[in-house]
Chain A
Amino acid sequence: MSPDTNETPDLLGPGDEALLRELRAAARRFDPPPDSVLEAARGSLTWRTIDAELAALEFDSAVDQATTAVRGGEGPRLLTFAAPGLNIEVEVSPIGPRRQLVGQLVPAQPARIDVRHAGGVTTVRADQLGRFDADAISAGPVSLRCHLGDAPSSVPVVTEWIPL
């Protein structure tokens, strides 16, 4: 892959260009993307769900309340994901390196929920009131895949990934 394929709309002096080249070599030596990070990136494609409805992250107490809840650190982190016709509310509590999730589907309905995380896939059920919980979820990126109701053919709803 040629290093000069990107457009460079401004003129860079020859001295600057040489300096940048040298600095780029230093960056490559001292802070390259770790192999484990690139390996995980290559493995990410296998997690995609084809033909799913995407539930976007609408609220994250860690970010949206970061300024008001400065005394925080107490209580679970609250997340809300929204898809057309479905909200997924999740409370996240850290237990050492693991996470415990307690959730609620709105409107309330039963579902099978795959919690996808670094440790694999943990499948739990939401009851008639839409409540579910999952223990021993690995810290790191997490996504929920919800198969609503009892119809196995229904389109699953997949939340955005979020590091927990």
Chain B
Amino acid sequence: MGASIDVRDLARAAAAGDQHGWDGLVERFGGLVWSTVRAHGLGPGDGADAAQTTWLLLAEQLERLEDQHERLGVWLAATARRESLRLLGAARVAAAAAPPPSPEPPAGAAGAPGREALLWRVIRELPEHCRRLLRVLLTAPPPSHEEVSAALDLPVTGIAAARDACLQDFRHRMVNIGIRTELEDS
């Protein structure tokens, strides 16, 4: 509840040109926009373009979006998704003759030691639909189901079940490589 009022206040201030209000929106939703473009497989360069285009579109349209100020995360996630698909489409046409570039260059974790690195590697080995879903769900701060739905064009009602199935798959893979997760601990 508190969150949507905060966002509405930030949006109203930003629409009036207030930089602090705008910075607050970036702080709140910067992670969501980024994880949405990454979930679509964009690398750092195209991902940065898609993310910035999303924010520029918001800056230009914020005044007109007044009725959506409390659902700004949904608007941003949907826009980041659309811009990701546009960049993927443009890249496909530009590289029609050449083989497509590998979608997502390995992000960190490659040689990093430790449990977190292992968890991240197992996430990256999940089937694509789980990798995408978890990439958005793992945004900080945690997104609402409506935001996840907009980011991935999934029905809101199916997200909890899909998440549970993906976490189940994740646990199986962890058990297979001999790593315990909290389920067994608790």
Contact status of A5 and B52, CB under 8 A, knowing A15-B182, A19-B182, A77-B90: no
- The answer to the question of B17 belonging to the interface, with a C-beta cut-off of 8 Å to chain A, is yes
Are A27 and B56 neighbours in the complex by a CB distance under 8 Å? no
Are B30 and A5 neighbours in the complex by a CB distance under 8 Å? no
Instruction: Give the distance in Å from the alpha carbon of A81 to the alpha carbon of B186 in the complex.
Output: 57
Pick from B53, B86, B96, B164: contact of A73, CB below 8 A. B96
Pick from B49, B89, B144: contact of A63, CB below 8 A. B89
Are A3 and B48 neighbours in the complex by a CB distance under 8 Å? no
- The answer to the question of B140 belonging to the interface, with a C-beta cut-off of 8 Å to chain A, is yes
- The answer to the question of B177 belonging to the interface, with a C-beta cut-off of 8 Å to chain A, is no
Residue of B57, B137, B170 contacting most chain A CB atoms (<10 Å)? B57
- The answer to the question of B108 belonging to the interface, with a C-beta cut-off of 8 Å to chain A, is yes
Are B96 and A70 neighbours in the complex by a CB distance under 8 Å? yes
Pick from B30, B97, B143, B144: contact of A37, CB below 8 A. B30
Residues of B within 8 A of A2 (CB): 2, 141
- The answer to the question of B116 belonging to the interface, with a C-beta cut-off of 8 Å to chain A, is yes
- In the complex, per-residue mask of A9-21: 1 if CB is within 8 Å of any chain B CB, else 0: 1100111101110
Contact status of A15 and B53, CB under 8 A, knowing A5-B141, A26-B116, A163-B86: no
Question: Count the A residues whose beta carbon is within 8 Å of the partner chain — how many?
Answer: 65
Are A1 and B28 neighbours in the complex by a CB distance under 8 Å? yes
Instruction: Give the distance in Å from the alpha carbon of A70 to the alpha carbon of B97 in the complex.
Output: 9
Are B85 and A30 neighbours in the complex by a CB distance under 8 Å? no
Expressed in whole angstroms, the minimum distance between the Cβ of B12 and any Cβ of chain A is 14
- The answer to the question of A153 belonging to the interface, with a C-beta cut-off of 8 Å to chain B, is no
- In the complex, per-residue mask of A137-164: 1 if CB is within 8 Å of any chain B CB, else 0: 0001101000000000000001011110
- The answer to the question of B181 belonging to the interface, with a C-beta cut-off of 8 Å to chain A, is yes
Instruction: Give the distance in Å from the alpha carbon of A87 to the alpha carbon of B160 in the complex.
Output: 44
- The answer to the question of A96 belonging to the interface, with a C-beta cut-off of 8 Å to chain B, is no
The 7 A-B residue pairs with the shortest CB-CB distance, nearest first, are A33-B34, A5-B3, A30-B108, A62-B90, A10-B160, A27-B138, A15-B183
9 extra A-B contacts, CB within 8 A, seeds A14-B182, A33-B51, A40-B51: A3-B140, A22-B116, A26-B116, A31-B35, A31-B108, A44-B52, A48-B59, A72-B93, A161-B53
B positions within 8 Å CB-CB of A: 1-3, 6, 14, 17, 19, 22-23, 26-28, 30-31, 33-35, 38, 44, 46-53, 55-62, 64, 83, 85-87, 89-90, 92-97, 107-109, 112, 116-117, 119-120, 123, 134-135, 137-145, 160, 164, 167, 170-171, 181-183, 185-186
